[in-house]
Amino acid sequence: MLILSPSVLLSTTADGYVAYDVHLDRLYRLNPTAALVVELCDGTRDLAALERDLATVVRDDWPHWRDWLATAVCDRLVYESMPDGVPSVAAAGPAELATQADELQQRDRVLAAFVCQQRASGLAPDDPAVSLRLGELAHIVGRRDDARNAYQHYLSQCPDDAEVAHLMTALSDEAPPSRVSNRCIEQLYGRFAGFYDENMLGELGYCAPERLHRAATSALGTRTGLSVLDLGCGTGLNGSRWRDQATHLTGLDLSEPMIAKARARGVYDRLDTAEITAWLDTASERFDVIVACDTLIYFGDLTQVVRPARPRLTAGGVLAFSLERGECDAYQLSDSGRFTHRPDYVSSVVSAANLTLVSLDETVVRHEYGQPVIGLLAVCRR
Ligand SMILES: C[S@@+](CC[C@H](N)C(=O)[O-])C[C@H]1O[C@@H](n2cnc3c(N)ncnc32)[C@H](O)[C@@H]1O
């Protein structure tokens, strides 16, 4: 009697199953017919019975599926009788499966991690931490519906989580907000501050500060003695690029833990914990350079920063900012929870604010899940 390996977990996909063998650490992608074949391998059929039950589905293709099954038996996805010594995944509890999911993710086996976490969540539906992890893993593997469902379930238990609420907006088809909420930024960077530099410079290969600085200095020439304002200064990775050219360097950021890191870096003359648009609305000083590196990715409508930044520039002063490049709408909230912007939209916002666009370059600004993130570097002059 043919039987699916007891150490295999199945997860439905839009077109079949993903099967993960927890014991052998093997992942299989099964198309709809393969999915049906393994479903029918439930210990009640031999090969002849399987052929009979599949007849109307596979018709003349039976020889192919017989060969496929022979390979599945060789691979130990399917057994010809209940095997001895193969641990059954049915005995694994949610904590064990969640731990396995963490280990798999560390080894970049994210789809397998998702399958394990999905089972963990089925076993512990009332544990918000399990739902949250399921949402994260579903999000990473691009299973938007699963991510939405898991985050929704998590939010029903933890409604105050502003980051997850924002991700739900990103994963929905709702109109995006004009910028990411203060609460979300504060929560996100309150958590991120402790490992921001290490993560950005290591795994994510973050190079926007260096590239934006190069683009801006080619517009500024050899000018030194500058007053520089760093919007969303974070821990100071960007500000430190400007230290040598600046006689006065101001940083501002909404996140107090990020500001604390910037303070410890010791490159700024002044640091303010403030929200950018609120700060610009009340500011009276002028700067030779205003720079926003990887900050306006949290703003959809760029006018809300570009327009009030203009009067804060000295004559001939430069506003430089980096973005993530988008292709569809003028701006769009992507699944990552960050905004992307289309180049022609950026040009139109700059000219509507009565600034001259000096350059708008495309470049890789960092990596995400091993893929390059294409950014835009905008340099404008008053
Ligand atoms: C990706 S980090 C970039 C930090 C730094 N510019 C760098 O290049 O490393 C984005 C920063 O923008 C800040 N931020 C986002 N939205 C903000 C807002 N509306 N007002 C002030 N800071 C904001 C965040 O707190 C975070 O520190």
Considering the domain boundaries, does residue 367 fall inside one? yes
Residue that the structure tokens 């004009």 belong to: 178
Which residue among 65, 89, 113 closes a domain? Answer: 89
The strand pair at 16-21 and 26-30 is best described as antiparallel
Helix or strand (DSSP H, E) at 39: helix 32-40
* pLDDT for the residue 15: 86
Question: Is 377 found in the same domain as 229?
Answer: yes
Considering the domain boundaries, does residue 377 fall inside one? yes
Considering the domain boundaries, does residue 82 fall inside one? yes
Question: Is 359 found in the same domain as 231?
Answer: yes
What b/e readout covers 196-209, taking b as 16+ CB neighbours within 10 angstroms?
Answer: bbeebeeeeebbbb
pLDDT, the chain, mean: 95
Which residue among 53, 74, 89 closes a domain? Answer: 89
Give the pLDDT confidence of 6-56 residue by residue, as tens digits: 999 999 988 899 999 999 999 999 999 999 999 999 999 999 999 999 988
Q: Which residues, including other chains, have CB under 8 Å from residue 91's CB and lie 6 or more apart?
A: none
pLDDT > 90? residue 370:
no
pLDDT > 90? residue 203:
no
pLDDT > 90? residue 252:
yes
* pLDDT for the residue 150: 97
Question: Is 199 found in the same domain as 319?
Answer: yes
Considering the domain boundaries, does residue 118 fall inside one? no
Question: Is 204 found in the same domain as 78?
Answer: no
367 three-state secondary structure: strand
Considering the domain boundaries, does residue 42 fall inside one? yes
Confidence of residue 341 (pLDDT cuts 50, 70, 90): very high
Question: Is 212 found in the same domain as 84?
Answer: no
* pLDDT for the residue 221: 86
Residue 325 DSSP label:
B
Give the pLDDT confidence of 269-286 residue by residue, as tens digits: 999 999 999 999 999 999
Tokens of 254: 């909404």
Contact between 318 and 220 under an 8 Å Cβ cutoff? The reply is yes
* pLDDT for the residue 99: 97
| 254 pocket-lining for ligand 1 (C-beta < 6 Å) | yes
Residue 267 DSSP label:
-
First to last CA, the chain: 78
CA distance 48 to 67: 14
Which domain range does residue 224 map to? Answer: 195-381
CA distance 164 to 248: 38
pLDDT > 90? residue 165:
yes
Tokens of 196: 């921001």
Number of domains within the chain:
2
Which residue among 31, 58, 89 closes a domain? Answer: 89
* pLDDT for the residue 58: 86
Question: Is 60 found in the same domain as 208?
Answer: no
Q: Phi-psi bin for 314: left (phi > 0), alpha (psi -120 to 50), beta? A: beta
Considering the domain boundaries, does residue 263 fall inside one? yes
Q: Which residues, including other chains, have CB under 8 Å from residue 287's CB and lie 6 or more apart?
A: 226, 227, 228, 229, 250, 312, 313, 314, 317
Nearest protein Cα to ligand 1, atom 14: 232
Q: What is the CATH number of the domain that holds 291?
A: 3.40.50.150
CA distance 76 to 19: 12
Question: Is 371 found in the same domain as 244?
Answer: yes
Phi, psi of 115 (to 5 degrees): -60, -45
User: How many whole angstroms from 232 Cα to the centroid of ligand 1?
Assistant: 3
User: How many whole angstroms from 59 Cα to the centroid of ligand 1?
Assistant: 60
Min mean pLDDT across 161-165, 173-177, 223-227 is at 173-177
* pLDDT for the residue 39: 93
User: How many whole angstroms from 329 Cα to the centroid of ligand 1?
Assistant: 23
Helix axes 128-140, 144-157, angle to 10 degrees: 160
pLDDT > 90? residue 198:
yes
pLDDT > 90? residue 224:
no
Give the pLDDT confidence of 292-335 residue by residue, as tens digits: 999 999 999 999 999 999 999 999 999 999 999 999 899 999 99
Give the pLDDT confidence of 51-74 residue by residue, as tens digits: 999 988 888 999 999 999 999 999
Give the pLDDT confidence of 104-154 residue by residue, as tens digits: 999 999 999 999 999 999 999 999 999 999 999 999 999 999 999 999 999
Question: If you average pLDDT over residues 178-192, what whole number do you get?
Answer: 97
Considering the domain boundaries, does residue 246 fall inside one? yes
Nearest protein Cα to ligand 1, atom 24: 232
| Closest to 289 in 3D by CA, of 370, 215, 198, 220 | 220
Tokens of 171: 């994963």
Considering the domain boundaries, does residue 137 fall inside one? no
User: How many whole angstroms from 187 Cα to the centroid of ligand 1?
Assistant: 12
